[in-house]
Amino acid sequence: MPPRLLVVGLGNLPHPNTRHSVGHVIVDVLAALFGIHRSINRSVGGFKGRSDVLLFSDDIVSLTLFKPKLLMNIAGPSVASALHSTVKLPASMVVVHNSLDHKVKVLSVKLEGSANGHNSVRSVIDALGANADFYRFRIGIGRDRAVDPANYVLPDMPLDGLLHWNGISLDRVCHELGRIALRNRTI
CATH number at residue 116: 3.40.50.1470
pLDDT of residue 168: 47
Domains held by the chain: number: 1
Tell me the residue range of the domain where 109 lies. Answer: 4-185
* pTM recorded for the entire structure: 0.90
Asked whether the beta carbons of 44 and 82 are under 8 A apart, the reply is: yes
Residue 71: strand, helix, or coil: coil
With a cut of 70, which residues of the chain have pLDDT below it?
57-58, 131, 157-168, 186-187
Model confidence pLDDT, tens digit, residues 115-129:
777 888 899 999 998
Query: Which residue numbers are catalytic?
Result: 20
The distance from CA 83 to its chain's CA centroid, rounded to whole angstroms, is 13
pLDDT of residue 166: 46
Strands, E assignment, the chain: 4-9, 39-41, 46-54, 60-68, 93-99, 107-111, 135-140
